[in-house]
Structure formats: C-alpha cells, structure tokens
Amino acid sequence: MNPTPQHLSGNYAPVTEELTAHDLPVTGTLPPELSGWYLRNGPNPADAASGHWFFGDGMVHGVRLENGRAVSYRNRWVRTTRFTDGARLRDDKGNQNLTAGTANTHVVRHAGRTLALVESALPYELTCDLDTKGPYDFDGRLGTAMTAHPKTCPVTGELHFFGRGQASHLTYYRADAGGTLTISRPIEVPKATMMHDFALTADHIVFMDLPVVFNLQIARTGTTMPFTWDDDYTARFGLLRRDDPYGEVRWFDIDPCYVFHTLNAYDAPGGAVVLHAMRYPELWRKPADDSEAGDISAVLWKWTIDPVAGTVREEQVDDRVGEFPRTDDRLIGLSSSHGHITTGNALVRYDLTTGAASAHDFGAGRTPGEAAFVPADENAGGPGWLATYVYDAATDRSDLVLLDADNVGADPVATVHLPTRVPFGFHGNWLGDREA
C-alpha cells in the first residue's frame, strides 16, 4: 500500500468545501482603523490528487476586517478553464493554453483589479467576494504567461513583471498606474530556466537567470516539476535600466545557486544595486519529487552589484533556514530598513541595516505561513502589523494572527479564529479599502 504523498497529507492536504462564515471570534484586539481583506492563495486540488505540491488548483482564503471586527471568512477556488473544463495547459502539439493554469501562487491588486496568479498562465481576475470573473490579458496585450511576483513601483504606480514564453526567452512587461500595458520587451537567454521572481529598484530591473533548467523529458511525464539543476549553466543576474527598457541587459555572473523569492532591492549611493533574497545552494539536482514538498534549505543573502566595476559581492546575512521574504510593499525598489521571513514555527524580522534580528515563536504545533505587512498609516516604512495564517495541529484549524511589526516577539495583537484550517500555501496580501 502506497503512503499518501507528503503534499497531500496533514495541513498540505486540500480542504473540500468552500465556506463563508461571519462574526469570527477574536482573542486580543483588532486595530479599529483596519478595513479591508487579508487574502492568501495556495494549491488546493479539487480532485484531492496532484503529482506535486505546486500543481494543485488555486484556492484563495480571505478574512474581512472592519471597525475592530473580524467580519467574515471566505475561501473560493479560482475557476480557471482547467478547474471548470479540465483544460490542459498544452495540447498534443505542444501549443500553450494560457487560460488553463492553476492560478494558485499569489493574489495582488493593481489598477482596481484583484488578480490570482501562477507563472505558467494568464492571471485570473476575482471579485471582492472571491468569485472568478475570468482570465485577464491586459486587453489582449499580454501574449505570454505572467510571473506570480509582479512588483508595483511605489512612486509611479506602474506594475512591472515578466513572462516566460514557449521559446527559451522571457519578456519584460510594464503596465501604467491605470492598468494599460505599455511595454513588452523580449529578452533572449540561453535556455528556458525557472525564473520565478525578479527585483525592482528605482532605476533598474534585476533578472535572475539561474541553473534550474527546463527538462523536456520530465515535462512529457506530466508528473512533477519539469526543471532540474544544470551544472553547466551559468548563474547570473541581469540589470536593465528602467529609463531604457529596450536597451542592453547587462549580465553579472554569480556563484551557482537558486532563488525562489526576493525580499527587496534598491539603488545604493554610488550606483551599486543591493539585493536581499533567500538563497538555495542548489535545487532539484534530481527530478523534483514529493520528498521536497516541505523541504526548506534557503537562508537570507545579500548581493551588491556594481555596474561600474562589473563586480558582484555576495554575503550571507543569517544562517536560519526559511522562506517567504517580505517587506513593506510601499518600499519596493527603495531602501527598506526591515524585512521578515517565515522559518519553522516562527517569523523572523531583520534590521537590514545592522543585520540584527528578532523572532516570534508561535509554539509547538503552530505553523505560520507567509506574513504580509499591514500598514498602520500612510507613511511608508512606518508602523504596522504582520498578518499570517497560523495552522494549529492540536485543533486542526487555523487562525489569522496579527503581530506588531516593531515588536514581533510580543504576544499577538489579535488572533482571529477561523472555522476551518487553511492548508499550507504560498503568497498573499493585505488589500486595504483606503488603497482600493
């Protein structure tokens, strides 16, 4: 008898119902000024089966906060064509169906639209009640899949992102603050690598071309991630100036590694670009299998790219393994003094200037996911809270927990008790009413 795969067991296992619950019980005090939704996306296979954790149908879980109350909880599958019709991402000739993704990785808002994202397909637009409106292609201007990690410039309101096409190149995109796609620029790379994230600064786009490479033989099996480590592929970062989006991409070799997620990047005095991200020494040297579904082996690193000298300085910031790095999104591309990661049963918040760190340990059997920064006021870099779903193995349910971002080691500010568990998932955001 085969054991249940890890990514379908425990709190990785999907929930089977879509729920709506009102007037949720709260321990502590919710900040009365908070009004909006905390949303988080993740894989939740509708048929309770999938070959890899990354393959499950997207489900968004949301908690509505308003006037010091936890007004409601709601979870909904994203109704992609794969979910509703069983559509495949590629047909028998290898042609891509950009509406047949899982939409299971992230949920963001731009120009008044809430979008569920996965890097292999088009975004799907959601209503404020998490109903699916349908695929969104920027009025026909988006011709490839879209990364699940777009970046909004806090100064211009522009949305920057990239897409991987069927050929071994990527395309850099930019949409203005009103949501109109204004730039589509192909960039040639030697092979189709698993470029999951990138970074934005006030002056630059930073691409990460790393040695996890598409493997057609594995892809044809359809059973696991179609990428493997390639010792012969050079690891490198690419810099593109924002004021010259069709200009040269300058590439800088780095030590072999892989990065799923960046924390932030900024332009330092003198012209260098500083990037913080979670670094894996390698990934998927053998085909990705279920044993890696919950494996965490990344730690926080800092890279300083000097375009004048043509050099990159690489430094390890901490030795705690973790993932899901985040900062105050209103400081994306700017020098942010703090950032945080999720590690085991804790959240760790870093002072990115001094390297000092503080942590909140949720206790045995209580496991947090990614934490989003929830601002307390309109001042970027000011006070706020870290919001995350926390799974409690003792009750087999989850809570939404708010921590004081400036004092993460203290007791939670508030804990919202949910009527169900939220399976381990990926990324989300606080969508405040005042930013709508």
Q: Between vectors from CA 146 to CA 144 and to CA 149, what angle results, nearest 5°?
A: 160
Q: Does residue 218 register a pLDDT over 90?
A: no
Q: Note the pLDDT of residue 2.
A: 58
Q: Between vectors from CA 226 to CA 96 and to CA 135, what angle results, nearest 5°?
A: 35
CB-CB contact of 120 with 43 (8 Å): no
CB-CB contact of 91 with 64 (8 Å): no
Q: Note the pLDDT of residue 55.
A: 86
Long-range contacts of 350-357 (CB under 8 A, 24+ apart): 350/300, 350/317, 350/318, 352/263, 352/264, 352/276, 355/317, 355/318, 357/318, 357/320
Assign 155 a pLDDT band (cuts: 50, 70, 90).
Answer: very high
Q: What is the mean pLDDT of residues 256-260?
A: 96
DSSP class per residue in 210-227: -SEEE-HHHHHHTSS-SE
Long-range contacts of 396-400 (CB under 8 A, 24+ apart): 396/421, 397/421, 398/422, 400/38, 400/63, 400/70
Q: Note the pLDDT of residue 47.
A: 84
Measured distance CA(369)–CA(364) in Å, rounded: 15
Per-residue pLDDT tens for 37-73? 999 999 999 987 777 888 899 999 999 999 999 999 9
Measured distance CA(350)–CA(402) in Å, rounded: 17
Instruction: State whether the Cα torsion 400-404-406-409 is positive or negative.
Output: negative
In this structure, which amino acid lies at residue 264?
A: N
Tokens 């850099």 — which residue?
172
Residues 6+ positions from 254 with CB-CB distance below 8 Å: 235, 236, 237, 303, 312, 314
Measured distance CA(244)–CA(249) in Å, rounded: 10
Q: CA-based Rg of the chain, rounded to a whole angstrom?
A: 20
Q: Note the pLDDT of residue 7.
A: 83
| Segment holding 84, helix H or strand E | helix 81-85
Per-residue pLDDT tens for 192-207? 898 999 999 999 999 9
The candidate with the shortest Cα–Cα distance to 300, out of 351, 256, 236, is 351
In CATH, the architecture of 6-435 is 7 Propeller (2.130)
DSSP symbol at 363: -
Per-residue pLDDT tens for 303-312? 999 999 999 9
Q: Between vectors from CA 297 to CA 296 and to CA 299, what angle results, nearest 5°?
A: 115
Q: Determine phi and psi for 330, rounding to 5 degrees.
A: -75, -5
Q: Note the pLDDT of residue 294.
A: 42
CB-CB contact of 122 with 137 (8 Å): yes
Q: What is the dihedral of CA 324, 328, 332, 336, to 10 degrees?
A: -100
DSSP symbol at 176: -
CB-CB contact of 358 with 405 (8 Å): no
Measured distance CA(299)–CA(342) in Å, rounded: 11
Q: Does residue 258 register a pLDDT over 80?
A: yes
In this structure, which amino acid lies at residue 84?
A: T
Measured distance CA(1)–CA(72) in Å, rounded: 41
Measured distance CA(138)–CA(136) in Å, rounded: 6
More confident residue, 92 or 202: 202
Tokens 């119902």 — which residue?
17
Residues 6+ positions from 269 with CB-CB distance below 8 Å: none
Q: What is the mean pLDDT of residues 222-241?
A: 89
